[in-house]
Amino acid sequence: MAMMDEPVNVREGEELDSRKVETFIRDSLQYQDGEFFIKQYPSGFSNLTYMVKAGNREMVLRRPPFGKKAKTAHDMSREYKILSALHPVFPLAPKPLLYSEDPEIMGCPFYVMERIPGIILRKNLPKEMTLRPEDARSLCENMIRCLNTLHTIDYRKIGLDTLGKPEGYVRRQVEGWSARYRDARTDDAPDFEKVMAWLHEKMPAETDRPGIVHNDFKLDNVVLNPADPKEIKGILDWEMATIGDPLMDLGGSLAYWVDRDDSEEHQLMRLLPTTEKGMMTRKELVAFYRQVSGRKIETMDYYFCFGLFKLAGIAQQIYYRYYHGQTKDKRFAMLIGAVMILEKVASKVIEKSDL
């Protein structure tokens, strides 16, 4: 496994018209030097991400996936607007460069942003990488500090007050993801009805400190400095960012975080190196967030359970496309197993909760 996250040849069925993309980028940026080519980043299950290189200049192009898409998902103009407002005050967000809705280029809206080179962690550490336990803990602390910094940005001051409505945010999230899950459910998927009922019944009070929430804040959306892997250079994938309850954001992060002492079945869900020596546990992450944010957190059971359910909803929506033959990406076939495990983990959270 290479240290740096590198693109590969474009997957079958996800090719772009290189000539049209090249003309648009060269004309828009007035950059005519060097060879032009497009490759694709193989990871990720949502928006498609390509590396575009013109001479020595490297950029990243983002476009929606092919096939069935949720009505409110994959809004390229929204993502571009977020980055345009956020980058000047939160430079860990990539700098956006170009946006287009011209259907003649690739048949859908897309945007181009700066590439932030660095290490992106996957399931296991790259073999060339050494992360001492004390550095692993520092990385966790830096992640939480970045998340809290994002949550405390004055979103009104930077023009993102129309990005979302903080009032009723939790209810809209629960009701929206419940509807999306039911709409995307296939015959082989669990119904999640008990989990959805609990989330409706135990809904917490409105937060008095809303903020910008990333909504997909996890280790493989974090770019690390190759010279010092505990240092964070960038935060990627802003497609689901909005204004809402920051504890829902933290709960979403916890859904991806597998502890060393989690059950064997839960361990099957591990996609990130969160069990490495020195990595914080979910409980420790919450305690550190409470410390740096000063927020009152009585219990994270609700937010963690919702994070698991939302993750299942995302996986099920993607699996739906594979199930109905709308994508040839064979990685999607395994997602039904993940949905089943997430239902069991969420149910156990409910069983043990004192809410």
Sorting pLDDT into bands at 50, 70 and 90, what band is 5? confident
* Mean pLDDT over each residue of the chain, to the nearest integer: 93
Sort strands 222-225 and 242-244 into parallel, antiparallel or unpaired. unpaired
Instruction: Answer yes or no: pTM beyond 0.75.
Output: yes
Sorting pLDDT into bands at 50, 70 and 90, what band is 43? confident
Q: Please say if the pLDDT value at position 91 is more than 50.
A: yes
Q: Which residues contact 294 (CB under 8 A, 6 or more apart)?
A: none
Is it true that domain 18-114 has CATH number 3.40.1380.10? no
Sorting pLDDT into bands at 50, 70 and 90, what band is 86? very high
Q: Please say if the pLDDT value at position 1 is more than 70.
A: no
- Which amino acid, residue 141? E
Residue percentage of the chain with pLDDT more than 90:
85
133-352: CATH architecture: Alpha-Beta Complex (3.90)
**Three-state DSSP class for residue 122:** coil
pLDDT digits (tens, 9 = 90+) for 204-217: 999 999 999 999 99
For residue 213, the tally of other CB atoms under 10 A from its CB is 27
pLDDT score of 96 = 97
Domain span(s) for CATH 3.90.1200.10 in the chain = 133-352
- Which amino acid, residue 285? L
What mean pLDDT comes out for the span 83-94? 98
What mean pLDDT comes out for the span 105-123? 94
CB 238 within 8 A of CB 293: no
What mean pLDDT comes out for the span 290-298? 95
What mean pLDDT comes out for the span 150-156? 98
Q: Please say if the pLDDT value at position 68 is more than 50.
A: no
Q: Which residue has the tokens 């700098």?
A: 95
Residue percentage of the chain with pLDDT more than 70:
96
pLDDT score of 44 = 63
Q: Please say if the pLDDT value at position 72 is more than 80.
A: no
Q: Which residues contact 267 (CB under 8 A, 6 or more apart)?
A: 258, 275
Distance CA 349, CA 83 (A): 35
Could you tell me which residue, 7 or 112, shows the higher pLDDT?
A: 112
pLDDT score of 141 = 98
pLDDT digits (tens, 9 = 90+) for 161-204: 999 999 999 999 999 999 999 999 999 999 999 999 999 999 99
Cross-sheet strand order for the sheet of 110-114: 36-40, 48-54, 57-63, 110-114, 96-100
pLDDT score of 40 = 96
Domain span(s) for CATH 3.30.200.20 in the chain = 18-114
